[in-house]
Amino acid sequence: MLSACPHLVTMLERGDLPFRRVGTHRRVRLADVLALKRREEEARRAALSVLTGLSDELGLYD
């Protein structure tokens, strides 16, 4: 999960990842980053499973 800084800031401001401010900087906990990474991986796996099921139903890879 590598993200560009503007994308990360958007995720922080949207509330996807908790943070705290120290001066003008945002601080995130490693545990929160790893939890977000796990959630994103689970969502990707679920989407892949759905797509695989659809391709099987349609007989795309017989």
pLDDT at 1: 58
pLDDT at 61: 75
Query: Residue 37: inside a domain, yes or no?
Result: yes
Residues whose CB falls within 8 Å of the CB of residue 61, separated by 6 or more in sequence, listed in order? 55
What is the per-residue pLDDT across 48-62, written as a single tens digit (0 to 9) for each? 999 999 999 998 876
Total domain count for the chain?
A: 1
Query: What is the domain extent for residue 44?
Result: 6-58
Are 19 and 27 in contact by the 8 Å Cβ rule? The answer is yes
What is the per-residue pLDDT across 13-52, written as a single tens digit (0 to 9) for each? 999 999 999 999 999 999 999 999 999 999 999 999 999 9
Query: Residue 1: inside a domain, yes or no?
Result: no
**Start-end of H helices in the chain:** 5-14, 30-58
